[in-house]
Amino acid sequence: MTRLSVNINKIATLRNARGGTIPNVITAAINCQLFGADGITVHPRPDERHIRYRDVLEIRPIIKTEFNIEGYPSESFISLVLSVKPDQVTLVPDPHDAITSNAGWDTVKNRIFLSEVVSTFKKEGIRTSLFVDTEPVNIENAALTGTDRVELYTEPYAAGFNINAPQAVEPFVKAAVIARDNGLGLNAGHDLNLDNLRYLRQNIPWLEEVSIGHALISDALYLGLENSIQMYKRQLAD
């Protein structure tokens, strides 16, 4: 069964819009786990417009499942990850002002840099994953960095799903095969939702983990957090 990691950034965005501690990200992380999430994902950015570095430190002790920290490997981010020691770190190539992740790594151009960062984390026993697109060369060179996994950037799949689902998923299946053939574990994330998640999982049954935040938290406004998490898990179960 593919694991569901719930990204709680949107909880922090709502909190920060008003200030204070409501909604509380610690409580959200606790409840997501109680309601069946297999992991918690956070993506702190330099401007701390949603998850703050302090949040990451405070969340760590209450994680009973798996903790995944996403982010661009700046010096401050690397220091945070090394101090927190999450189960997994997902490296993304976001510029500092990105609204959300919108591209995978050019692992050819950045292979030496990524290799050094991956090595730093793996020495501390932290599983690493690189955010990549479906270009074979980027997946093959990701493997050369020593990373444990890649996370497929699924926005193009989501954008094309309602137009032509088989055509939209085809490059992702091919990329998943390349990742597997290169000894890489496989994650996926970005714009996955209750409409398109099951089809992706059915076409890539060896998918290990999906990280979902925006859609799941949005669904929770109407359906409730516990119900939403269980609905997403059902999409991954068959």
Q: What is the spatial distance between Cα 18 and Cα 12, in angstroms, rounded to a whole number?
A: 10
Instruction: Give the pair of three-digit tokens for residue 38.
Output: 């297999």
Q: How many CA atoms lie within 13 A of 238 on its CB side?
A: 2
**Length of the chain counted residue by residue:** 238
Q: What is the spatial distance between Cα 97 and Cα 222, in angstroms, rounded to a whole number?
A: 30
Annotated catalytic sites, by residue?
43, 70, 190
DSSP characters over 23-83: S-HHHHHHHHHHTT-SEEEE---TT-SSS-HHHHHHHGGG-SS-EEEEE---HHHHHHHHH
Instruction: Give the pair of three-digit tokens for residue 211.
Output: 């990280």
Q: How many CA atoms lie within 13 A of 72 on its CB side?
A: 17
Q: Are 194 and 212 in contact (CB under 8 A)?
A: no
Instruction: Give the pair of three-digit tokens for residue 36.
Output: 């069946």
In the 8-state DSSP scheme, what is residue 215?
H
Q: Are 207 and 200 in contact (CB under 8 A)?
A: yes
Phi-psi region of 125 (alpha: psi -120 to 50; beta: other; left: phi over 0): left
